Structure 1
Amino acid sequence: MVFYLLSFTAELENLTNLQPRDGCDDPNYVYGFKLKCENCGEVTQKETYVTLSETVSIPNSKGTANLVQKCKLCGRDGTIQMVPKYGEPLTLDASQKEALAKLMVFECRGFEPIDFIFGDGWVAESTSGTKFDVDLSGGEFAEYDEQGECPVGISNLQAKFKVAKKQERYGRTTYV
C-alpha cells in the first residue's frame, strides 16, 4: 500500500479559505482523477470518481474501500481508501506564497492517482466575509463582491499527488 497526498494551489484574488463546500472532509465532495495501474502502467481513459460517503466491499477480503476497480489492460484489482482529517483550506496568504494546501490522503493498492480534476462543489470567502459557491470545472472563477466592492477570482489552479509517508509523532498521525 502506498499513501498519496493530494495538494493544490491557485492564485486567489480577494478570496481566502478555498475548499470543498463542507470542508476537505466533505462526505459528498466528488474527487475525480485518472488512475495509472502499478502493474502494467496503463492509464485509465476516463476519469475515476470517489467520495468519502461511498464504500464498497473488497473482493476476497473483509475490508472496504472507497473504490475497487480492475485494470482494463491486465485485469489486476486495485483499491483506493480515502484518509480524512488531513486536509486544509487554501488561504490567501498561502496562495500569495505559492504554497500547496493539503486536500486529501489516499491509501492506494494497485493504482496510482494522477491528473486531479477540479470540478464543482467548492466554496471560498472574500476578504470582506462574503461566501461564494465556486465551480472550478472551467479552470477558473471570477465574480464581483458587492459587499467588499471588489472583484474576486481564482486562476492558475494546480494539483499535485505525491507519495506520502505516514508518521506517528506525539501520539498524532501525520502524512508528509
Structure 2
Amino acid sequence: MVKFMLKIAADLENLTNLQPQGGCDDPSFSYLFKLKCENCGEMSQRETCVSLGDTVPLPQGKASTNLIQKCKLCSRDGTVTMISGRGKPLTQEESEAGKYAPLMLFECRGYEPVDYVFGDGWKVESLEGTKFEGVDLSGGDFAEYDEKGECPVMISNLRSIFDVVK
C-alpha cells in the first residue's frame, strides 16, 4: 500500500485560493488521472474517474474503497482509496514561489496514479475578494476580468505531480 499526494501548481494572476468547487474534500468533485499497474507496468488507455462520494465495498472484509479496477493486461485487481482532510487551496504566495499545494491523498494498492487531468468544477477568488465559481480548467487556462478590482485575472501554466507520502 502506497500513498500518493496529488499536488497542483499554477501561475495565478491577481487570484488566490484555487481549489475544487466545494473545497478540497468535495464529495462530488471528480479526479481524473491514468493508472499504471504496479505488477506489469501497463498504463490505462483512458483516464480513470475517482470521487470521494463514490465508494464500493472491498471483496473481503467490511471496508470500502473509492475504486476497484482490473488491469487489462495481467488481470490483477487494484484499488484507489481517497483520504480526505489533507488538501488545501493553492494560494497566490505559493504560486509566486513556484510551490505546489497538496490537493488530495490517494492510497493505492496495485496501481500508481499518473498524468492528472484538470477539468471543470473549480473555484478561485481575486485578491479583491471576487469569487469565480464553476471554473473550467480543461482548456489549460482561465482568463476573466474582475469588475470589483478593475483588473484582469488569469490562471495559466497548470502543473500537477503525485508525490509518494510515508
Q: Which runs of 4+ in 1 moved over 4 A?
A: none
Q: Which residue of 1 aligns with 2:32?
A: 32
Q: Which residue of 2 aligns with 1:58?
A: 58
In structure 2, distance between residues paired with 1:95 and 1:20: 17
The one-letter code of the counterpart of 1:3 is: K
TM-score by length of 1: 0.92
Q: Which residue of 2 aligns with 1:170?
A: none
The one-letter code of the counterpart of 2:47 is: E
Secondary structure of 1:34 counterpart: strand
Structure 1 residue runs of 5 or longer lacking an equivalent are 166-176
Aligned-pair CA distance for 1:63 = 1.9
The one-letter code of the counterpart of 2:145 is: Y
Q: Which residue of 1 aligns with 2:139?
A: 138
Aligned-pair CA distance for 1:132 = 0.5
Aligned-pair CA distance for 1:60 = 3.2
Secondary structure of 2:108 counterpart: strand
Report the aligned-residue RMSD: 0.7
Aligned-pair CA distance for 1:93 = 0.7
| Deviation string, structure 1 residues 100-144 (Cα, Å, up to 9, x no partner) | 100000000000000001000000000111000211010000000
In structure 2, distance between residues paired with 1:3 and 1:110: 11
Q: Which residue of 2 aligns with 1:42?
A: 42
Aligned-pair CA distance for 1:43 = 0.2
The one-letter code of the counterpart of 1:22 is: G
* Alignment length (residue pairs): 165
In structure 2, distance between residues paired with 1:142 and 1:121: 15
Q: Which residue of 1 aligns with 2:12?
A: 12
| Deviation string, structure 1 residues 63-89 (Cα, Å, up to 9, x no partner) | 210000000000000001000000010
Structure 2 residue runs of 5 or longer lacking an equivalent are none
Percent of aligned positions that are identical? 62
Q: How does 1:20-169 map to 2 (within 5 A)?
A: 20-133=20-133, 134-165=135-166
